[in-house]
């Protein structure tokens, strides 16, 4: 029974992890850029949800739209204004650039919001349900379901919409897509915007579950790293599988080794995977 | 020849620093020498070979802890420093063999995460490292001024060694092989360069003196803790310095380290709470306005002038 409970906890956590990582994976796959800012984007999304709740009384689940919108605009502008100029440069250039931007963004958040940990306390908390002896914290369950729905929505957008098809086309072959009349720079900006949007949405879901602080951004970035490498780069299914796998592994790791080592387990796993199977569980693919 | 002469004069001038008797300048000089070690070391793997390594912090922290633990166990200070070089080097050989087959982002992430894992190990292994409480080093029984000079010269010696190492690499087959790898790794392996071997050599060379600098730093500040000596900034700052000066050159990292420390002192000291943000602005400006570094700009000017003169005559 204990193991089933832990499995369940892991899956609920994993759904959120997948939502954190899917935007990161999309940007990495399509732009070949590792966005070090991703963790700060998630935190910024949490702050949007927090302040929307405290000042306007907007429920964090409804803030997904708000946080997503704010982050999409930020991401789109950053890509159009700065990152597009170096998108074809060596790996080191884009890495160092996003690292520099992250220092700026994170320092800005520290100054504006301070390093104190804040939490959203709902006036009517969801509580937990007990089903057949299993305790299910409802806020986590709902957040996980919403995260899964969002990830599914992104999948549909990529497969069905014109914009999604353009993104996939650019991912497969940039030159060929450009020859077919796709505006590659605009697609890059949209992709980066969507990556930021997913981070912001994940942030507002997480604001109910994890304490919010600019200091948490590296944890989220680390999770995104591990999920991408674990699941394999370049597909939404990969991010889902990677996220769920990481959630379950961390939950069991917390049971057997201790909860304070959650991220260490993830990082050790990451190094082992990179050494032995760098393509991840699902292999590399292109959002077909 | 003239470059050797310039180098000797510069080193001699820096070595005179204690004569000024200004403790603040001496501390700054020690930091400068330390930054030179980090930047020159990173230049071997990142500049010559073009591999985006973020392992500097891992080597530095490992060296610092090796030095601190050995000194705590009663090993003489100099022996502890040398042991720190060797432990970082050994670690780099093993790590390099494990992760140097990765390319691009995958290598960058793997090298970045290593430091995070080491932080956790250092924090959890309380019996050996003192855990999150950190570790205190034995106090030296000499005057404070003599200590400051001792650590300054130690760091300067490490910097000179790292500089000579850079020079030798750049002038040798190793440097040539690494530059081939940077330009096209598959092609270099086809013409008979043992790419794995040279990459591991470069990675190891980029670790030795960083480990030593970590141990000297630990002896210098008397107290280390995991987040301090494994800080991600220790991996990023050398990269910024090398890009600032000019990657893959011999003098670039030194020039970059100098400009960097001047900026760090002048700007950041006055804006403490914006410290990270100013570094961020510096990085963004660097990428857009100085993509080839200071030496790159100078070279282009010189090239432009010589073609102008050629056209005039």
B58, B160, B205, B225, B305 from B64: Cα distances, Å: 10, 19, 17, 10, 47
Instruction: Give the pLDDT score at A157.
Output: 92
Q: What is the pLDDT of residues B217-257, one digit of tens each?
A: 999 998 999 888 999 889 999 999 999 898 888 899 999 99
Q: What is the pLDDT of residues A39-50, one digit of tens each?
A: 999 999 999 999
Structure confidence at residue A284 (pLDDT):
57
Tokens of A230: 């674990």
Greater model confidence, A89 or B60: B60
ipTM field: 0.84
B108 vs A contacts (CB less than 8 Å)? 34, 91-92, 95
Q: Please answer yes or no on whether B117 and A102 come within 8 Å at the CB atom.
A: no
Inter-chain residue contact B52 with A101, CB threshold 8 Å: no
The span from the CA of A101 to the CA of B282, in Å, is 10
Which residues of chain A fall short of a pLDDT of 50? 286-288
pLDDT per residue as tens digits for the range B192-211: 888 899 999 999 999 999 99
Average pLDDT over residues B274-290: 87
Which helix (H) or strand (E) segment holds residue A134: the answer is strand A134-137
Q: Which residue has the higher pLDDT, B122 or A288?
A: B122
In this prediction the pTM is 0.88
Q: Residue B62 in contact with residue B211, Cβ under 8 Å? A: yes
Q: What is the pLDDT of residues A170-179, one digit of tens each?
A: 888 888 888 9
How far, in Å, CA of A44 to CA of B28, rounded? 37
Pairing of strands B135-136, A128-131: unpaired
CA separation for the pair B225, B298 (Å, rounded): 41
CA-to-CA distance for B6 and B169, rounded, in angstroms?
19
The 3-state DSSP class for residue B75 equals coil
Q: What is the pLDDT of residues B4-45, one digit of tens each?
A: 888 888 888 888 888 887 888 899 999 999 999 999 999 999
- Cβ distance A267 to B50 less than 8 Å, yes or no, reads no
Q: What angle do CA A249, A255, A258 make, to 5 degrees?
A: 100
Q: Which residues contact residue A235 at a Cβ distance below 8 angstroms, ignoring those fewer than 6 apart?
A: A25, A29, A282, A285, A286, A287
Q: Which two tokens stand for residue B70?
A: 């050995």
- Note whether B213 and B42 are within 8 A (CB): no
Interface of A with B (CB under 8 A): 28, 32, 34, 82, 85-86, 89-93, 95-97, 99-108, 110-111, 222, 225, 229, 261, 263-264, 267-268, 270-271, 274-275, 278
| Alpha carbon distance B205, B193 (integer Å) | 18
pLDDT in tens, A259-284: 777 778 888 888 888 888 766 666 65
Confidence check: pLDDT of B293 > 90: no
């Amino acid at each position: 029974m204990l193991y089933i409970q832990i499995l369940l906890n892991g899956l609920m956590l994993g759904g959120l992890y997948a939502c954190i990582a899917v935007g990161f994976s999309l940007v990495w796959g399509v732009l070949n850029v590792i966005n070090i800012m991703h963790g700060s984007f998630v935190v910024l999304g949490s702050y949007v949800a927090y302040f929307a709740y405290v000042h306007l009384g907007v429920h964090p689940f409804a803030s997904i739209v708000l946080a997503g919108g704010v982050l999409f605009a930020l991401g789109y502008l950053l890509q159009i204004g700065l990152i597009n100029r170096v998108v074809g440069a060596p790996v080191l250039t884009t890495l160092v650039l996003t690292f520099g931007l992250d220092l700026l963004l994170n320092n800005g958040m520290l100054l504006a919001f301070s390093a104190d940990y804040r939490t959203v306390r709902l006036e009517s908390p969801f509580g937990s349900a007990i089903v057949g002896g299993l305790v299910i914290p409802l806020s986590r369950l709902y957040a996980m379901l919403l995260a899964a729905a969002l990830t599914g929505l992104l999948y549909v957008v990529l497969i069905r919409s014109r914009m999604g098809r353009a993104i996939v086309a650019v991912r497969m072959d940039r030159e060929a897509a450009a020859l077919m009349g796709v505006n590659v720079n605009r697609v890059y900006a949209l992709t980066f915007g969507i990556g930021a949007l997913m981070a912001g949405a994940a942030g507002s879901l997480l604001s109910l579950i994890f304490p919010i602080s600019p200091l948490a951004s590296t944890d989220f970035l680390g999770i995104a790293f591990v999920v991408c490498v674990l699941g394999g780069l370049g597909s939404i299914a990969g991010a889902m599988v990677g996220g769920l796998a990481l959630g379950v592994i961390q939950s069991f790791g917390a049971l057997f080794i201790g909860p304070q080592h959650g991220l260490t387990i993830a990082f050790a796993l990451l190094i082992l995977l990179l050494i032995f199977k760098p393509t991840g569980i699902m292999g590399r693919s292109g959002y077909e | 020849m003239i470059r050797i002469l310039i180098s000797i004069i510069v080193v001699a001038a820096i070595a005179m620093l204690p004569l000024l008797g200004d403790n603040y300048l001496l501390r700054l000089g020690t930091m400068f020498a330390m930054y030179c070690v980090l930047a020159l070391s990173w230049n071997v793997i990142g500049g010559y070979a073009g591999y985006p390594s973020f392992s500097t912090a891992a080597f530095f922290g490992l060296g610092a802890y090796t030095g601190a633990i050995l000194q705590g166990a009663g090993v003489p200070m100099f022996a502890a420093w040398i042991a720190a070089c060797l432990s970082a080097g050994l670690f780099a050989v093993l790590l390099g063999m494990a992760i140097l087959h990765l390319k691009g982002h995958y290598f960058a992430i793997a090298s970045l995460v290593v430091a995070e894992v080491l932080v956790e190990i250092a924090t959890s292994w309380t019996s050996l490292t003192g855990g999150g409480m950190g570790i205190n080093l034995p106090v030296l029984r000499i005057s404070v001024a003599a200590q400051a000079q001792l650590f300054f010269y130690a760091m300067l010696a490490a910097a000179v060694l790292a500089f000579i190492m850079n020079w030798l690499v750049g002038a040798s087959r190793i440097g040539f092989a690494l530059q081939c790898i940077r330009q096209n790794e598959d092609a270099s392996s086809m013409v008979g360069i043992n790419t794995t071997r040279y990459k591991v050599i470069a990675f190891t060379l980029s670790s030795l003196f960083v480990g030593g600098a970590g141990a000297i730093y630990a002896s210098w500040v008397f107290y280390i803790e995991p987040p301090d000596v494994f800080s991600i900034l220790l991996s990023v700052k050398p990269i910024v310095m090398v890009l600032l000066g000019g990657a893959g050159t011999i003098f670039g990292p030194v020039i970059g380290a100098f400009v960097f420390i001047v900026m760090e002192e002048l700007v950041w000291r006055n804006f403490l709470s914006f410290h990270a943000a100013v570094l961020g602005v510096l990085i963004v400006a660097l990428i857009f306005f100085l993509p080839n570094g200071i030496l790159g700009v100078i070279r282009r000017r010189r090239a432009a002038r010589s073609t102008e003169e050629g056209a005039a005559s």
